[in-house]
Amino acid sequence: MSFRFCLAALLVLAGCGDLPQPFLGRPGATAERLAQPPPSRLAVLTPEQSLLPDAGANAWAGAVADALRTEEVPATTDRGRGDWRLMLSAEVRGSEVVPSYVVQNPSGEPQGVSEGAPVSAAAWAGGDPAVLKAAAAQAAPGIASLLGRIEAARRQSDPNSLLNRPARIYLSGVTGAPGDGNSSLPAQIRAKLGAMGLVIQDAAGGADFSLSGQVQTAPGAKGTMRIELQWIVSDSRGEERGRIVQLNEVPPGTLDSYWGDVAVVVANEAAGGVRDVVLNASGARVAR
């Protein structure tokens, strides 16, 4: 039997038909970084050693918080219990002032330092809001990058991190398939994902991700039957992290009883896409 499913990223899937949601789950560099901010909030504290008047020190802290929010870092000038902290300071080096930014965990332990670009000492001492805003905007990308590196290191050292253990996936099942597809497809995808090192479980408790399969059929071209399968990966909060779509047109009645080898082919093709979505969502890079 000739039965070929189309599975790929957006550009290839676009050639396979008009799909409402192609392969998701591949964030760009910014999204990868934003998926792993270390604190729930980052408190930007008014510096004590800023070489600025009090009003200037407050303005600098506010400008840094604003600039970090443009980088989608959850920064605030209000300090709350459990917040991570960004400690600001400045020192004179020759005729210039160099701003410095130290990231502390909620216990006050330094986790990393980022320095801003030097600023003319005369311009800095005046506390001009435009100067402080420009310094904050220049420093924000480096601080955001530092936060990402801190979190990456933290996750590498955490034995419970998905970087250090297999992901646990709750397979909720497959719906809508003709014949025995609702039972044969889960059996095959479970076997394929397990062979890839993922832990597949039949209960939702303790799962890092959930996986469900949806099958839709419709009349196809020239009397065929159109089969569309969607494998949906969601995280533990129920947010969709990726979707793998497979589709083809087969002779009518082909799958009315047993899927057999077709289920094996489907699982072989889909499992790699599911694994890639899970790895991307876990903060691990997919090897190519």
The predicted model gives 35-49 an average pLDDT of 73
User: At 197, is the pLDDT very low, low, confident or very high (cuts 50, 70, 90)?
Assistant: confident
User: At 281, is the pLDDT very low, low, confident or very high (cuts 50, 70, 90)?
Assistant: confident
Instruction: Answer whether 10-27+166-282 and 36-157 agree in fold.
Output: yes
| pLDDT tens-digit series, residues 4-21 | 444 333 222 323 333 223
Q: What is the pLDDT of residue 249?
A: 82
Q: What is the pLDDT of residue 262?
A: 87
- The answer to whether 116 touches 125, Cβ cutoff 8 Å, is no
| pLDDT tens-digit series, residues 205-242 | 888 899 999 999 888 888 888 889 999 999 988 989 99
| pLDDT tens-digit series, residues 81-128 | 778 999 999 999 999 999 999 999 888 889 889 999 999 999 999 899
- Residue 117: CB atoms within 10 Å: 12
User: At 32, is the pLDDT very low, low, confident or very high (cuts 50, 70, 90)?
Assistant: very low
Q: Please tell me the distance from the alpha carbon of residue 59 to that of residue 129, in angstroms, as a whole number.
A: 7
CATH of domain 10-27+166-282: 3.30.160
Q: What is the pLDDT of residue 129?
A: 94
Domain ranges of the chain: 10-27+166-282, 36-157
Q: Please tell me the distance from the alpha carbon of residue 103 to that of residue 108, in angstroms, as a whole number.
A: 9
| pLDDT tens-digit series, residues 127-166 | 999 999 999 999 999 999 888 888 776 766 666 666 667 8
The predicted model gives 257-275 an average pLDDT of 90
Strand 42-45 relative to strand 75-76, pairing: parallel
Q: What is the pLDDT of residue 13?
A: 30
Is residue 60 predicted with pLDDT exceeding 90? yes
The one-letter amino acid code at 91 reads: E
Mean pLDDT of the chain: 81
Is residue 283 predicted with pLDDT exceeding 70? no
Pick the CATH number of 36-157 from 3.10.450, 1.10.3720, 3.30.160, 1.10.260: 3.30.160
User: At 54, is the pLDDT very low, low, confident or very high (cuts 50, 70, 90)?
Assistant: very high
